[in-house]
Amino acid sequence: MPLFRIDNRVGYFAHIPKCGGSSVEHYLRAVCDSVVFIDNDFFSRTPDRLWHRGSPQHMDGATAKRFFGDPGFFDLRFAVVRHPVSRFISAFYFQRDTLVQLPATLSLDDFVTELYRNGFDAQPPGWCDHHFLPMHRFLFAGTEFRVFRLEDGLSKVAEWFETTCLPAPSGIPITRQNQSELKSEEAVNRTISRKSHDRVCALYARDFEIFGY
């Protein structure tokens, strides 16, 4: 949940993992007066130096609302979402192969089976840095957010931000960051069994409903 300031306005970017958030954060740093509540070194810190099991930029909406109280504190609120199944597959391979937070021998199907059986709320707070948390849980319930789809391109985010949020257009585009994620994005094209696909759809049914996928 990076916070940003533009003149006298304060904004909230709900950074949903695996939805281009690192690229958006890089852009915000370039065009905003200040950007805070980000720890890009989170995974390199020793356990005694961590503030929480999850990084501040991936804070869920309920926790953020508890910290900040009135969502009206923020003048601007936006998020980027993507198709729940492709996000899930990308998150799995990123957690397993790049961050090594899941066993190397764990298959996608076995992981889906385990998560489907136990559900999200059985996991400890901050589990896998919220990479598998349903997208709607990153927003403040009952609060309006401007929501963009990753499939439509991050240029849509920049276009809105340049014309609506900045005092004058910067002309700076949102460019691809976090190259370590490329392998997990390529993995999205791998096949997923029909059974696992249906279970992922069931796990993220609310996301499908809210975001129209």
Query: Per residue in 70-79, pLDDT tens?
Result: 767 889 999 9
Per-residue tokens: 193 = 């069994």
Q: Write out the residue range of the structural domain in which residue 153 sits.
A: 3-211
No. of helices (H) and no. of strands (E), the chain = 8, 5
Low-confidence ranges of the chain (pLDDT < 70): 39-54, 56, 71, 178-189
26/36 Cα distance (integer angstroms): 12
pLDDT of residue 100: 87
Q: Do 183 and 98 form a contact (C-beta atoms < 8 A)?
A: yes
DSSP string, 153-195: -THHHHHHIIIIISSS---PPP----GGGHHHHHGGGS---HH
Return the pLDDT at 1.
74
Residue 2: what pLDDT? 86
Within 10 angstroms of residue 114's Cβ, the number of other Cβ atoms is: 11
Domains contained in the chain, number: 1
> Which residue reads 């991050």 in tokens?
154
Residue 201 has a pLDDT of 97
Q: How far, in Å, CA of 10 to CA of 17, rounded?
A: 22
